[in-house]
Amino acid sequence: MPPSPRRRVLLHAFSTFQLGGSQARFVQLANAFGPQYHHVIAAMDNRFDASERLGAHVSWEKLTLHVQRGGALANRSPFRQVIKEVRPDMLLSYNWGAIEWAAANWPKQLHHVHVEDGFGPQEATRQLPRRVWTRRVLLGWTGTPVVVISHTLNHIATQVWRLPARQVKLIPNGVGIPELYIEKRLLAQSNQGLLTIGTVAGLRPEKNIARLIKAFAAVRSHQPARLIVVGDGPELQVLQQLATSLGVADDVEFAGYLADPLARLIEFDLFALSSDTEQLPIAMLEAMASGIPVVATRVGDVAHIMPLVAQSALAVPDDASFEATLLAAIQNRNAWPIWAQEGQRTAQSQYALANMQAQWQTLFDGYAA
């Protein structure tokens, strides 16, 4: 019997492995591929909270780092040594927070793919010149393939960072909702007298959950309602204080980080996304795939994935516009079934999990990007 082929070793470099968009997608992929690959996960802050969502069948290990502060070259030498010791088949770095790994792989030691999911609050409205030049040098001049998840990021990578189009590959996020959750949502009894608005997000400044709480307070002044916020992060205490100051603390539930956020997502009558910056938000796609209508800010590719019949549920990312849009959407509740139906169709046809997995498998196998 011929020997079984060697399992490919993939080194994944994150700024943090706390749950966020890139981490959630990695968990999705790792769980789907199971023991097919061995994943070595490095986090610049040595936080690995998202690992609890990895199934027992996933082959992985965490890599503890000793990180020095001081710019994109500060850790080049020690990270380069890490690559030599781990000897992976491929290096994948995720977002600006892990850009130093591009420097560590120069001169080139192994195949490297850089993945961009979006930006923090510093680049919510504009690209910072220093970061543009750093990406242009470390990614463009070295010919490093770059994967982006949205049309907006594809435009930025080619037009602002000036990376060659052949170097940039668009792989949109994909979602798949287990049938069990769809059935639970269909069987659940909706309380027509109490509107449930919800969101799933890290409690970070760029997610602007404060905007959502302020808009919810306006809703609550007109009718009975509750707000469920699934997620954790540094803004928690400030947001709790805001809910108290607005007199809606009893109606706002901070559910915290959940290993299975879908269990709460299916309770929502309406999903709300209030971010200052997004690209292709997985939580919004999951809400759409679950048959939940959405109100959102017009950022990144959000308008692109929102069904045409629901474009009125999009707001520019400021507090007054978001509040007005949310109140108008609630007044237009008769349209929610068609919003939900078209959103579900869009998510299932254009952002299917199987399509995303196939493209990432090709990339993990070293045949693309």
- Confidence class for position 187, pLDDT limits 50, 70, 90: confident
- Confidence class for position 189, pLDDT limits 50, 70, 90: low
| Residue 267 contacts residue 289 (beta carbons within 8 Å) | no
Question: Does the bond joining 107 to the residue before it have cis omega, within 30 degrees of 0?
Answer: yes
Give the residues across from 295 on adjacent strands: 272
| Residue 68 contacts residue 77 (beta carbons within 8 Å) | no
The position carrying tokens 């749950």 is 19
Taking residues 288-296, report their average pLDDT: 97
Taking residues 298-314, report their average pLDDT: 96
pLDDT score for 185: 87
Taking residues 90-101, report their average pLDDT: 96
Taking residues 293-310, report their average pLDDT: 96
Give CA separation, 280 vs 57, 117, 136, in Å. Answer: 28, 8, 23
Q: Crossing angle, helix 236-245 and helix 209-220, to 10 degrees?
A: 20
Say whether 36 sits in a helix, a strand or coil.
helix
Of the chain, the percentage scoring pLDDT greater than 90 comes to: 83
- Whether domain 179-350 has CATH 3.40.50.2000: the reply is yes
Handedness of CA 324, 325, 330, 332 (dihedral sign): positive
pLDDT at 352 over 80: yes
List, by residue range, all CATH 3.40.50.2000 domains of the chain: 8-174+352-364, 179-350
pLDDT score for 347: 96
**Cα torsion through 315, 318, 323, 325, rounded to 10:** -10
Q: Burial, 66: exposed, middle or buried (Cβ in 10 Å; 0-12, 13-18, 19+)? A: exposed
In whole angstroms, what is the distance from residue 209 CA to residue 216 CA?
10
**Cα torsion through 68, 72, 74, 77, rounded to 10:** 110
pLDDT at 132 over 60: yes
Give CA separation, 288 vs 203, 335, 337, in Å. Answer: 21, 15, 12
Tens digit of pLDDT for each residue in 201-224? 999 999 999 999 999 999 999 999
Return the DSSP state at 9. E
Q: Which residue has the higher pLDDT, 73 or 77?
A: 77
Please state, rounded to an integer, the average pLDDT across all residues of the chain. 93
Among 175-179, 193-197, 284-288, the range of highest mean pLDDT = 284-288
In whole angstroms, what is the distance from residue 48 CA to residue 202 CA?
15
Tens digit of pLDDT for each residue in 138-161? 999 999 999 999 999 999 999 999
Pairing of β 294-297 and β 314-315: parallel
CATH annotation of 8-174+352-364: 3.40.50.2000
pLDDT at 357 over 70: yes
- Confidence class for position 369, pLDDT limits 50, 70, 90: low
